[in-house]
Amino acid sequence: MSAYFESLNRRARTSGAGNAAPAPAPAARPVRPVERSAPAPTPTPVLPPTSATLAHRYLALRERLLVAANGRPLRVIVFAGCEGGEGSREITRDFSETLAQSGLKVMMLDAGIGRESVASPNDVTQLVARDGTAASATCGKGQLTVVAGPAGTADKEHFYRSAEFASWLDRQRGVYDYALIDAPPIARFADATLLGRLCDGVVIVIEAGATHRDVLVRGREQLERSDVKVIGAVLNRVRDELPAALRPYFGEE
């Protein structure tokens, strides 16, 4: 084995050594410049309104409600779309939160559709049954109370027509600065009409570019035939086409 390793050592010493000239380096190839296309311009984003802008708009909505009251308080208000999908719950929730954050005491009754009934101390059927007051939570400078509507009640119309519910809802005027109710679509359910009779009026929620004029007219006529006051309308989901860079020049944040 020693003779074998020695022969390997001798081969390693003789290979590549001596006076052999190093192999010439390969000629460098000319580098061709890489042609790059100019980057595509980035489109100016159309940003949604900031939370501060939304708060400003909801506070402006409150001012309009005060004007529409014409000296009479509008404190218990129903919000409802015409056919569904207009964003009535979104408007009611955000408006409730904005009012509470400004220092008011607000109750939101979530009586819309598409929500599972959840048994809780703030379920309206339980509150009415025991003539109770809902638990509230701090929201900004004020307080916000969210009450679940009678989604699981077999006969909601009978519940809304009951003297017990009417009495309970009327007592909330002395507890809260505002009681806002999200109701199912006017054209599909009777809830908005029944609730509107017990409240100060109904605000119809319209979806920009989706709600047809004839549907809106029929919804308003349905409420007025039942002697429900239509306070006005809120146009929801309006697309802001103004570029963000230009908004400061038009008073937008």
Among the listed residues 229, 169, 231, the one whose alpha carbon sits nearest the alpha carbon of residue 205: 231
Q: Looking at residue 155, what is its pLDDT?
A: 85
Q: For position 46, what pLDDT does the model report?
A: 35
pLDDT at 71: 79
Beta strands in 124-252 (DSSP E): 137-139, 142-148, 178-182, 201-207, 230-236
Q: Is residue 108 a contact partner of residue 114, using CB atoms and an 8 Å limit?
A: no
CA–chain centroid gap for 5, Å, is 82
pLDDT of residue 28: 52
Cα 136 to chain centroid, rounded: 21
Q: Looking at beta carbons, which pairs linking 53-58 to residues 24 or more positions away fall under 8 Å?
A: 53/252, 53/253, 54/94, 54/98, 55/98, 55/101, 56/253, 58/94, 58/95, 58/98, 58/99
Residue-wise pLDDT for 55-66, tens only, equals: 888 999 999 998
Taking the model in full, what pTM does it have? 0.73
Identify the segments of the chain with pLDDT beneath 70. Answer: 1-50, 114-121, 152-153, 240-253
Residue 75's φ and ψ, nearest 5 degrees, are -120, -30
Q: How do residues 111-128 score in pLDDT, each as one tens digit?
A: 987 655 444 568 999 999
Predicted pLDDT of residue 243 = 61
CATH 3.30.70.260 is right for the domain spanning 51-236: no
Name the token pair of 59: 């506070």
pLDDT at 249: 63
Helix axes 191-198, 163-171, angle to 10 degrees: 60
Quick one: pLDDT at residue 131?
A: 87
Residue 96 CA to residue 108 CA, distance in Å, equals 7
